[in-house]
Structure formats: C-alpha cells, structure tokens
Amino acid sequence: MTIELDFTHDANATSWVESANGHPDFPVQNLPIGVFSHGDSARRGGVAIGDFILDLPGVATALPEGGYDAALLGNAPVLNALFAEGRDMLFSLRGAVFTALTDASFREDVEPHLYPASECTMHLPFLVHDYTDFYTGIHHAVNIGSLFRPDNPLLPNYKHVPIGYHGRSSSICVSGTDVKRPTGQQKPAEEGGTPEFGPSKRLDYELEMAIWIGQGNDLGDPIPVGEAEEHIAGISILNDWSARDIQAWEYQPLGPFLAKNFASTVSPWVVTMDALAPFRTAQPARAEGDPEPLPYLQHDTSHAAFGIQMEVLITTPKMREAGAEPHRLSHGPMTAMYWTAAQLIAHHSVGGCNMQPGDLLGTGTLTSGEEGGEGSLIELTEGGKKSISLPNGEERKFLEDGDEVIMRAYAEKDGYARIGMGECRARIVG
C-alpha cells in the first residue's frame, strides 16, 4: 500500500495562483485531474487549481522534470491512457505540477495555460467501459432490508461477500447533465395485479463515492488484495439515481435493471490516491461476532479507509426562484463502507475478471448510521411513508421535476490542507 507523505502535502505550501490558497476544494495540495474544454477547443486533461484549470497538454513543456510525459497523455478527450500508466506516472505528474504552481519562477511560462473554471465545460474523465455498483454501506443495507424484512434485514451473505451488480456505463453522466425521469413498469398496487406503466413516481438519489480503476489486470489474472490500491486511479462522487417503483417490481431474481440504467451522475474531478494520502484512516472494526473475511479479502486495514465527509443537498424550483440556499438533506463519512476499496477490487477480479482503466466502482449508498445520515430518500421517508419538510414549507417523499440534487465531499484533518472532490449535481426533468 502506497501511503507516503511528501512536499506536496505540506499544509503551509501556497500557490502563486492566489485563489488556490485556502480554497475549500482545490488548494495546491489537491490537484485533481479531469477533462475540460474551453470554448470550441478540444476536450483535454486539466488539473483544478483554485478557481482555474491548468491545461495539461498545453503546459507540458513548461513543467519541471517528471511532468512532461504524463501531461502529454492528457492530450486526449478521455484520460484512460494516462491512468493506465499507473500510480508512478501520476506521482511524477503531481510533483511536477505542484512545483510549477508553487515556485514563482515557473509563473511566466505556466500562467498562459490557466483557464478560469467558470468559463470551462467539464466532461467525463474516462471512457467508462464497465460500471459496477457495490452495496458496502451496511447501515443502508440494514435500513433497506428492514423495509422488506424487519426481523432479518441483512441477508446471510452480506458479511462474507462484497455484494454488487454490473451496472450500465453508457448512461453515466458528468455533473451538470439533466436527468430525465424514467418511464417504466412499476410494481402493481396490489399483489397479483397488473403493473402500472408510466413515469416513475418514486425517483430517488443514492449518495455514493466512485472509485476509478487506473491500471487494469489481464483476464484470468486476479488482483491480490494487497496490491489492489495500486490499481485505483482516484475517487469522485457518484449519484446512483434509482426509480424505486420500477426497482420494486423488477429486482427479483436478478437485481436492479431499468430502475438504475437511465442515468448515474459523477463529479468531474478525479482526486488521486496521492492527494488522499493524509486522509487515509483505519477501516472501522467489524462488530463483535462478525465473520473474518476469507483469506483472499484479508489485508492490512490500518489505513484502508478514506476520511472523506459527504453531504447531499436539494434545491427545488421554488427555492431557486426565491434565491434560497440549497437545503442539506443528510451527511456522513465514507467510512460507512463495510468493505474496503481494496477488498472490492480483489473480490471483483478474484474469478479472473479483467478490470480496465476507467472502470467505475460505486461504493453503494453510504448511510452513516446516525440520525441525519440517510443516504437516500427511501430511507429518509421510510419507504415513502412520511414526507420530509424543506425550509420553505415544501414537502417531498421522492424527487419532483425541477428538483436539483447536489452532492459534495471533502477531506479535512488537523495539520493538513482541506481538499474537496467538488460537486456532483444534476436536475430532474420530466
């Protein structure tokens, strides 16, 4: 496991890009990578720094040693090739970009390659070949299970095997893309009845984190759990939109299908494993009596979790008209995962499945287990039985057209600069 701290984590480091200093998301200690375009220019790799985006291919020749090759790989509409190079390449790039943005002697050559983020359009960072959504949020699993099986919420496999399903990659959208309310078959009002068909009436979000695969593995050659982190490109925020009425009708026996294939939204910035190094933390201990993971899932979990805080907020059309601030629906930590990111990768590949650069692994809904930590509306409203009230008096059981869901995440720790993931935001349209 590579968790090393170096000069790029120095909390006292400042950039000559002044908006970066004290920036809640993108100080020079973060340097997340994404794909942007400016005006009619081509999509290409960029690094967020304060209120600006550094054009990677543009700045390649102006970077100090170690940055050139990686920056040139950013000269592409997606970053699969850059991240396929593995963590060493990203480590070199981070060091070079950090120096270029902190050492004033680089300013003259680097500054022409900065674009105001407000003038840029962000795109998906990868061509996503495969998307897998896990179910690691144990409090979410208990809450959802309780709706169906009050006496026995967790199925007997949950604590032995990381549960997941293969999702749909073609409908993964970058933050800011509208989400069209899906139409589909819905569970009959009465048992044995005819299913309803129409626009979903129980449209929900799921607060998740995205784990991106960097370097892949060959078919038939599993990734050992102890090496799994070397295969992670970085982390973003994921909203796994879910149509609960479609889901309730179709999910047995093979799991989610149309209830989740109409859209999944990700935040555009890939926060790298090196940026997250100071915020790694112990995987919470398993409850007494829980089984030990099988040997292929056992590893050193002393720094295997991510000290990331997440939150989900909503605005409605009425709130926006009135100029109201988004209302926070819930918040909680990423440590709500029952399985570590490394265990997810080891498990995913143990049968020989080949992971590819740009594969997206969703953590599953991360509900904190504390009040105010519910990661979906179905939990907040107890399956749609009760409404939640917004500050302006509006009520919601599920999402209505025009509602906008905003997810944010950040990492904070004494002695280190706070870094953020940015936003995962999208509006429901009818």
- Scanning 16-24, 201-209, 278-286, 308-316 for contacts with Mn ion by CB under 5 A, the matching segment is 201-209
Minimum CB–partner distance for residue 23 and Mn ion (Å): 30
Q: Is 404 in the site for Mn ion (CB under 5 A)?
A: no
Minimum CB–partner distance for residue 137 and Mn ion (Å): 9
Distance CA 142, CA 101 (A): 46
| CA dist 100 → 17, 107, 230 (Å) | 11, 7, 26
Show the binding pattern over residues 107-146: x = contacts Mn ion (CB under 5 A), - = does not.
--------------------------x-------------
Structure tokens at 131: 């998307």
Residue among 260 and 418 whose Cβ is closer to Mn ion = 260
The four Cα atoms 18, 24, 30, 31 give a dihedral, to 10 degrees, of -60
**Hey, how many other C-beta atoms are within 10 angstroms of the C-beta on 180?**
13
Minimum CB–partner distance for residue 260 and Mn ion (Å): 7
Residue among 209 and 419 whose Cβ is closer to Mn ion = 209
DSSP 423: E
H or E element in which residue 131 lies: strand 131-134
- Scanning 7-15, 59-67, 198-206, 398-406 for contacts with Mn ion by CB under 5 A, the matching segment is 198-206
Show the binding pattern over residues 233-272: x = contacts Mn ion (CB under 5 A), - = does not.
-------x--------------------------------
Which pairs from 315-322 meet CB under 8 Å and 24+ separation?
315/403, 315/404, 315/406, 316/390, 316/392, 316/394, 316/396, 316/400, 316/402, 316/403, 316/404, 317/402, 317/403, 318/392, 318/394, 319/390, 319/392, 319/394, 320/404, 322/392
**Among the options 140, 299, 331, 348, which is catalytic?**
140
**Hey, how many other C-beta atoms are within 10 angstroms of the C-beta on 340?**
24
Structure tokens at 428: 């429901």
φ, ψ (nearest 5 deg) of residue 54: -90, 125
Minimum CB–partner distance for residue 205 and Mn ion (Å): 10
- Scanning 27-35, 164-172, 203-211, 313-321 for contacts with Mn ion by CB under 5 A, the matching segment is 203-211
- Scanning 140-148, 174-182, 200-208, 377-385 for contacts with Mn ion by CB under 5 A, the matching segment is 200-208
Active site annotation includes 303: no
Minimum CB–partner distance for residue 209 and Mn ion (Å): 11
Nearest residue to the partner Mn ion, using Cβ: 240
**Interface with Mn ion: number of residues (CB under 5 A):** 3
Residue among 264 and 316 whose Cβ is closer to Mn ion = 264
Residue among 314 and 360 whose Cβ is closer to Mn ion = 360
Distance CA 245, CA 383 (A): 10
Q: Is 206 in the site for Mn ion (CB under 5 A)?
A: yes
- Kind of pairing between the strands at 232-239 and 271-272: antiparallel
Residues tagged active-site: 140
Binding site for Mn ion (CB under 5 A): 133, 206, 240
